[in-house]
Each structure stands twice: as C-alpha cells, then as structure tokens.
C-alpha cells in the first residue's frame, strides 16, 4: 500500500498534503461519532430500564383525590376510514381519571360518517363530558392547527392533551401523564410506539419505533434536547395562551416541535411519560410507513439544517462503512471484520432496547426481528436520499413547501394526485334502494383521479345511479373501497 495513505508512516508530518489532513480530520470525526452514538444507545437503554413502565407513587393518588388538575383532551379527526378508529376513540371514554373533557375536532363538516361514530360513543358514555367541533377555523397553513383551533378556545381546563386519532390509551395513561406534570414541567409527551400487529408492515413499524426512533428519543430526553412529538402531548394551557394560543404555531407543519420550544423558552422543562404512546392505525403498509418517515426527515432538515450533515452517519450501515474506512486509514484494521462486529453490537443493543420499550413478549420471532431490522437499516439511507430529492411535503391531502426554520407555505397546484370528485355510473343488483334508476341521487366519496377498476362498475344497484367514487393508482384498491362504502349503505 502507498505509504502516503498511511499517516503514521511516511511521509513525515511536515510534508503532508491538504488531502491527507482532510482525511485525518474526517477519520477522527467518524470515530468520535461512533463513540457518541454508542453513548446515546447506552443512555436510551438506561432511560428505558429505569423509567418506562414504572408506576409512580402519585399515580394512584391522582386517580382518587378530588381537586386534581382538569384535562381538556383535544382529538383532531380527519377521516372515518380507519378500521381501528372507533376502538381507539373508545379508550378515551374509559380513562380512569376524575376530571377531563374530550373535544372532538372533525375537519370536514360534510363527514357524516365520522360524526356518527363520535356521537355514537358520546351516547354510549353519557357520563363523560364530550363535545364535537366541525370545520375548524382557518388561522394558518397547518390543517391540524386549523382543525383544533375552536376546541382549544372552548377548552375549560388548565391542561391540554393533544392526541391524534390513531392513539390507543390504557385506563391509567392520562393519570401517568398528569403525574409527570410537576411544578417545573410544562409539557409531558409519550415515546411513540406501536400496538402489536400482524404482518410485515406492523413488524417494521414496531422495529423502527422500538429501536432507531426510541434510541434517539430517549437519549435526547435524558440530555434535555427538544424531542417531543405531537401525537400525544400534555401541555399547560397558560404557556400556549401566553404566546398567542395554537394560532402562534399555524405557520409550521411541525407544530409539536415549536410548541415544545415555547415551553422550554418559558423556563419549563419537557418530560417523557413512563408509558409509550400506543399507535394503532388501521391502514399500516410499508409504503405509508416510508412516506411518513420521509416526511418527518424533511421536517427535521427544514427546522435543523445541520442534521443534513450528521444524520446520515447516525444510521448503522453508513456509520459502519465510514468508521471501517477511518480505522483502516488510521490503524489498518480489517474493514470487513469491523463492520461485522459493529453491526452485531448495534443489533444486540437494539434487541435489548425494543424489549424494554415493549415491556413484554414481542409479537414476532427473533428471526423475523433480524430480517426486519436488516431491511430497516438497509433502507434508511434511501429515506434520507428521498428527503433530499423531493423537499416538498404532502400531508392531509395538501402539499407544502418548507422554508429554512420550519415555516411552511401551501402549494396551490392542479397536480393529478390532489383529491377531487370523479363521477362514474355503477350498475348491479347487489343493492336495493328507494331511489329509482332515473333518480338524481348520488353518493359522494373523496377520490383521487387515477385509474378505476372496471370490475367495480358492476357492484352497485339495478339501473343506473351517479356515484362519485374513490379512485386510486390500483384498480383493486378502488374496487375494495367502493364495495366497502356500498356495504355501509346497505347496513
């Protein structure tokens, strides 16, 4: 090997080229990053071991004493298509906490199906204080903030819990979160995790949230960094009101990050709850998962541009490669041996971490975990590349352009992927109706103007009836969704 590539041999230090100095600095930086990430891994394991799933003494008291702080639970809802929605929402009616209200925020005033689900639960649990708000109020570009604005203004308690529609609660979850809200804490958030689910997509989500995401999330909490996510966050209303309410965060898509930032700027701390947030979506898929993680990556880059440099080398594969080169450059260690040992150590620590976050048996075997973990680590660099190739964000059927600092602006476009209504005529004897074939009645369902399955055209009713049908890139998906709506009408 050319001695010019080996710094501890020839040439002498005073004859080094700029290229060699750059290589030396890069090698040292890569090795330092390896040590730092192992430190983060250890911090995450310690935090998970000694904090998660630990029942605090005051939790029992909070569930029994009068005079506890009241909580206004704000539930933004945008679609009733989620198969697990009703089951998820019902867990909020069975919370073991003495003083709370549930404020449902239905984004679309025309969504009678979603309203029916919510009102059915309210009727089933008449002793629970629950209200419904529809349509929201446009105060900025963030559709979630717009949806929650009326409920926030009508909230009556000093604590606000923002909880997404896909979250499932245990009976004592709210009690646990409130018990973490000590005098110097202004925001309590939950570590994002996932309910046990079958299938490849469910396993991939659990592996990601129990390893890669949990590692950085828990380590950041120990070090006091802003890592809060808004899927389940309990905040002091007075802090939000002091900065202008939810409206103050309406120009950001990552409103949760800036809410947490406002809490820190107010002199309060943020604290992770001992119970992870149990996400329970009914539409899990690998495509949806990658789209979601890519969107989060874009938001992080917009808010903290410096992450573009450091985040790529925080993934196991990329870090293994660059550190193998660094050790070969500095000490002539065998790169292949180091990469194998590096991945083995990373895998073992992730295996231990996901067990601590799960707090029980995993719903998959060790082999399934290994395969899914390898797939996740190999595709992580692809997600980073995708975030750079297309920096715009699509969220809640709207497209946004991100600016440095996290400010977003809505992109007005006639893109064919934008939701619209496409009329088609469907005939079948599968459904009876009081409408005659010549009736002008119609079924209106949000759609994407792509290709629709011709097979679906025989799934409706005798005669003809104008139907505004949901279309998708795959005809089979459109057919299934149309038939599902037909079944709903029949029932």
Residue 364 φ/ψ, nearest 5 degrees: -145, 165
Identified catalytic residue from 108, 256, 315, 350: 256
In DSSP notation, 205-228 reads HHHHHHTHHHHHHHHHHHHT----
Residue 198 φ/ψ, nearest 5 degrees: -85, 165
Residue 333 contacts by C-beta under 8 Å, 6 or more apart in sequence?
A: 324, 327
Query: Residue 121 corresponds to which tokens in the numbers above?
Result: 């639960």
Q: Which residues of 190-206 are buried (b: 16+ CB within 10 A; e: fewer)?
A: bbbbbbebeeebbbbbb
Residue 258 contacts by C-beta under 8 Å, 6 or more apart in sequence?
A: 249, 252, 406
What is the C-alpha separation between 195 and 316, in angstroms, rounded? 25
* Cβ pair 53, 138 in contact under 8 A: no
Say what the alpha-carbon torsion angle 181, 183, 184, 186 is, to the nearest 10 degrees.
40
Catalytic: 256? yes
Residue positions counted in the chain: 491
Residue 279 CA, distance from chain mean position? 9
Which among 310, 295, 299, 123 has a CA at the least distance from the CA of 216?
310
* Cβ pair 471, 451 in contact under 8 A: yes
Q: Which residues are 131's β-sheet partners?
A: 103
Residue 271 φ/ψ, nearest 5 degrees: -135, 140
- Sequence-ordered alpha helix ranges (H) in 282-431: 286-303, 307-310, 316-331, 335-358, 366-389
What is the C-alpha separation between 285 and 388, in angstroms, rounded? 23
Residue 125 contacts by C-beta under 8 Å, 6 or more apart in sequence?
A: 93, 94
* Cβ pair 191, 353 in contact under 8 A: no
What is the C-alpha separation between 250 and 410, in angstroms, rounded? 12
Edge-to-edge strands, sheet with 443-444: 423-425, 466-468, 443-444
What is the C-alpha separation between 157 and 450, in angstroms, rounded? 46
252 three-class SS: strand
Angle between helices 335-358 and 200-210 (to 10 degrees): 100
Positions annotated as catalytic residues are 256
């Amino acid at each position: 090997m050319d001695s010019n590539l080996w710094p501890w041999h020839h040439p002498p230090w005073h004859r080094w080229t700029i290229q060699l100095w750059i290589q030396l600095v890069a090698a040292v930086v890569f090795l330092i990053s390896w040590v730092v990430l192992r430190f983060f891994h250890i911090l995450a394991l310690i935090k998970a071991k000694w904090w998660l799933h630990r029942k605090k003494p005051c939790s029992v008291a909070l569930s029994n004493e009068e005079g506890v702080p009241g909580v206004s639970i704000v539930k933004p809802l945008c679609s009733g298509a989620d198969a697990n929605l009703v089951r998820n929402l019902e867990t909020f009616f069975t919370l073991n906490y003495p003083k709370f209200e549930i404020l449902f925020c239905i984004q679309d005033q025309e969504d009678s199906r979603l309203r029916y689900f919510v009102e059915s639960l309210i009727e089933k649990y008449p002793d629970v204080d629950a209200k419904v708000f529809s349509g929201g109020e446009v105060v900025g570009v963030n559709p979630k903030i717009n949806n929650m604005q009326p409920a926030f203004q009508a909230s009556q308690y000093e604590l606000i819990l923002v909880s997404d529609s896909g979250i499932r609660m245990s009976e004592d979850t709210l009690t646990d979160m409130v018990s973490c809200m000590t005098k110097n804490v202004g925001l309590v958030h939950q570590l994002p995790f996932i309910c046990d689910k079958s299938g490849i997509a469910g396993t991939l989500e659990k592996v990601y949230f129990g390893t890669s995401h949990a590692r950085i999330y828990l380590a950041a909490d120990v070090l006091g960094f802003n890592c809060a996510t808004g899927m389940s966050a309990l905040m002091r209303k007075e802090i939000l009101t002091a900065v202008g309410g939810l409206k103050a965060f309406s120009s950001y898509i990552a409103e949760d990050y800036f809410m947490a930032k406002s809490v820190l700027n107010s002199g309060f701390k943020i604290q992770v709850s001992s119970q992870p947030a149990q996400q329970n979506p009914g539409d899990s898929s690998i495509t949806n998962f990658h789209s979601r993680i890519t969107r989060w990556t874009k938001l992080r880059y917009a808010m903290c541009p410096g992450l573009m440099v450091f985040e790529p080398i925080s993934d196991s594969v990329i870090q293994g490669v660059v550190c193998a080169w660094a050790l070969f450059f500095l000490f002539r260690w065998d790169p292949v041996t180091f990469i194998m040992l590096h991945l083995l150590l990373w895998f073992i620590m992730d295996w231990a971490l996901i067990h601590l976050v799960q707090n029980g048996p995993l719903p998959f075997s060790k082999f399934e975990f290994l395969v899914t973990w390898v797939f996740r680590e190999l595709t992580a660099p692809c997600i980073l590349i995708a975030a750079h190739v297309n920096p715009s964000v699509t969220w809640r059927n709207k497209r946004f352009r991100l600016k440095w600092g996290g400010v977003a602006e809505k992109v007005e476009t006639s893109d064919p992927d934008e939701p619209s209504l496409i009329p088609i005529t469907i005939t079948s004897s599968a459904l009876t109706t009081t409408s005659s074939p010549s009736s002008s009645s119609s079924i209106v369902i949000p759609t994407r103007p792509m290709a629709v399955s011709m097979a679906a055209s025989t799934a409706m009713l005798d005669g003809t009836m104008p139907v505004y049908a949901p279309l998708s890139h795959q005809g089979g998906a459109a057919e299934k969704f149309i038939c599902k709506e037909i079944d709903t009408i029949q029932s």
